[in-house]
Amino acid sequence: MISLGQAHETEVTLEKAGATTEFWTRLAQNLKLAKATVAFVMGMVFQLVAKIDRNMEGWTCVEPVETGEGEFEPTICEFLREGENSINGEEMVRCAKEQDALTGLRHAEAMLRNQERIPVEWRKYYLVFPEVWQCPVGNRYVFCLYWDGPRWSLRCRWLGSDFYSSSRLVGSRK
């Protein structure tokens, strides 16, 4: 669901681009076209901030994703090869590096802050951010977003476990 402010932002953008009365009429008559237009105009851009929002006392980022503040546009990609049903978490992280799908906890938090922008189609996936963190007892983890019904939630996932076809790596276009 988009907010009234987002709808207004979309309207202003389209008018600046030269939207005519005929365009608005067609848009009003075609819900699929209207949704696609709003998604295109608004884009799926999230704002990274300098610091992680949560208390990570005792945790260490052992394979950080170097990125500054600013915008990022997420993409998702598969990491399983043909014939695979699952792979170990450490192998999944190697695949992420090969595919240049490098995002981390700050990316996940940015998406959580504006989760209404995350495409509905992504709700069927476990979104994996392959930056590696070590917990106080020494185990290695990555952070993931998952759809729990009413909203997206953040959790960490042990790299000693397997990752299945229901997971997708989150990369960044920017």
pLDDT at 3 over 60: no
At residue 134 the predicted structure's pLDDT band, cuts being 50, 70 and 90, is: very high
Helical axes 21-29 vs 31-42, angle rounded to 10°: 120
Place of tokens 């992420």: 96
What's the mean pLDDT in 27-45? 72
What's the mean pLDDT in 98-104? 92
Q: What percent of the chain has pLDDT over 70?
A: 88
Residue 24 is predicted with a pLDDT of 84
What's the mean pLDDT in 148-157? 94
- Burial of residue 52 (CB within 10 Å: 0-12, 13-18, 19+) is middle
In one letter, which amino acid is 18? G
* Cβ-proximal residues to 44 (8 Å cutoff; 6+ apart), any chain: 73, 74, 117, 118, 119
Q: Which two tokens stand for residue 136?
A: 């106080």
- Highest averaged pLDDT of the listed ranges 50-54, 97-101, 106-110, 117-121: 106-110
Alpha helices in 68-124 (DSSP H): 89-98, 105-113
Residue 69 is predicted with a pLDDT of 85
Q: What percent of the chain has pLDDT over 90?
A: 55
What's the mean pLDDT in 116-126? 91
For the chain, give every domain's residue range.
Answer: 4-42, 46-172
CB 145 within 8 A of CB 152: yes
